[in-house]
Amino acid sequence: MIKFYRKIRQNLLSEGKTGKYLKYAIGEIVLVVIGILIALSINNWNENRKGRNKEQIVLENLKEDFLANQSIIDRSLAVHKYHLDELYSYLKHLGPSVPALTDSIYKFDVSDYGKLNLIDGTLKAVINTDIFGIIQNELLKKKLSTYPSTFAAYKEFEDVNRDIVINKHRALGEQYTSILRLDKSLLGISEPHKSDFLGWARDPQHQNNTVNRINIIRNKLIPALIEVQTKNYEILKLLDEEIRD
């Protein structure tokens, strides 16, 4: 093909048709440029298609994780609300003038605090690598990048709640409770002390610990988890919009 065009140019020059030669040469250059542009466009289209396919795989993996997290968050929120209701009822049994109590005080589930762990392997891999750049939706990228900090804020309140349970509620309870008396398998080895549930119920620190837990769960923990829940849902919605059927 190149020899064919060269022969045409040579014939035009030999015939002295300089003007036609120039026009032909310019036309040939234009055709070459158009050919290059078409080739580049095809190459760019192929690269974009490959990038879009990679993006779809990433989005599908993210959706799988965030769907699982939505269920985890919903269950954790239900657990926090259950604990809050238990603490409201438990608080009625505390105070300076409460009547004599028995082991029935243990029917309340107030020594547990719950712990939320999310699936974040794909999110970490996306945010911390070049993979993040293939996601085209800027709003989705923004919400993905801020999601970890929202969850971290929740975890701070979770740690506060955990500290109250372990280092205050349980620690104080051991001062008034005979653990040996509760462990039937060891009763024959040593004589247990008496449990002073009434003293525990009347201890002002016990009441304060319970009130602090109510406040942290009601005013901090649940609102922070609801924010995580909302952002998780928003990300899922954006993922659904970006994933091709």
pLDDT, one tens digit per residue, over 11-47 is 545 655 555 545 545 655 555 566 666 656 655 545 4
Question: Do the beta carbons of residue 176 and residue 196 sit within 8 Å?
Answer: yes
Q: How confident is residue 188, by pLDDT bands cut at 50, 70 and 90?
A: confident
> Mean pLDDT score of the chain, rounded to an integer?
82
| Residue indicated by tokens 């009130």 | 211
Q: Where are the domains of the chain?
A: 2-242
Q: How confident is residue 229, by pLDDT bands cut at 50, 70 and 90?
A: very high
Instruction: Identify the CA nearest to 116 among candidates 71, 86, 146, 85.
Output: 71
- How far, rounded to the nearest angstrom, does the alpha carbon of residue 94 sit from its chain's CA centroid? 38
The whole-model pTM stands at 0.76
Q: Would you put residue 72 in left (φ > 0), alpha (ψ -120 to 50) or beta?
A: alpha
Question: Do the beta carbons of residue 114 and residue 133 sit within 8 Å?
Answer: no
| Residue indicated by tokens 């690598």 | 129
